[in-house]
């Protein structure tokens, strides 16, 4: 699986808009059904340090879109734990959804069970998924 992610990472990095005026970037993978996510410069910099995460992130967004529906939006954020400065910074993919809280919780559990547990082996401690109700 890691070869599949690594092979695609360079292609996706090359497709990024390198100089956005807003400081917020939208990523869409061409070819597949688009799954945009927003990120600021800090998240972008961290993702560029580990470009092998990019294809996993794309597939993750696609799976989450299927589960949470077309109204869900995604934001990629950099997180550093101020209480544990020895820990490396992580990326959080935040799913914004208008779902009922119980339904959103069950949907996230289904995502973890059906996809994330197996797919995220190479991303442990680097990328986490959370839901924010809007």
Q: What pLDDT, on a 0 to 100 scale, did the predictor assign at position 58?
A: 87
pTM of the model: 0.74
Phi, psi of 42 (to 5 degrees): -65, -45
Higher pLDDT, 132 or 6: 132
Percent of the chain whose predicted confidence (pLDDT) is above 90: 43
Model confidence pLDDT, tens digit, residues 91-115? 999 999 999 999 999 999 999 999 9
How many Cα neighbours within 13 Å face the side chain of 4?
8
Instruction: Point out the least confidently predicted range of 10-19, 83-92, 108-117.
Output: 10-19
- One DSSP character per residue, the chain reads -HHHHHHHHHHHHHTS-S--SSS-EEE--SSSPP--EEE-HHHHHHHHHSTTHHHHHHHHHHHHHHHH-TT-EEEEEEE--TT-TTSPPEEEEEEEE-S-HHHHHHHHHHHIIIIIHHHTGGGTTTEEEEEEE-
């Amino acid at each position: 699986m890691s070869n599949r992610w690594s092979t695609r990472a360079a292609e996706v990095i090359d497709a990024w808009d390198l100089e956005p005026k807003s400081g917020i970037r939208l990523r869409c993978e061409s070819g597949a059904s688009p799954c945009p996510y927003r990120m600021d410069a800090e998240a972008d910099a961290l993702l560029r340090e580990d470009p092998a995460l990019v294809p996993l992130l794309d597939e993750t967004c696609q799976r989450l879109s299927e589960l949470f529906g077309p109204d869900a939006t995604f934001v990629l954020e950099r997180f550093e734990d101020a209480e544990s400065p020895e820990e490396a910074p992580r990326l959080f993919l935040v799913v914004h959804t208008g779902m009922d809280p119980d339904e959103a919780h069950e949907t996230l559990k289904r995502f973890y069970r059906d996809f994330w547990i197996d797919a995220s082996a190479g991303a442990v401690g680097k990328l986490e998924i959370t839901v924010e109700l809007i």
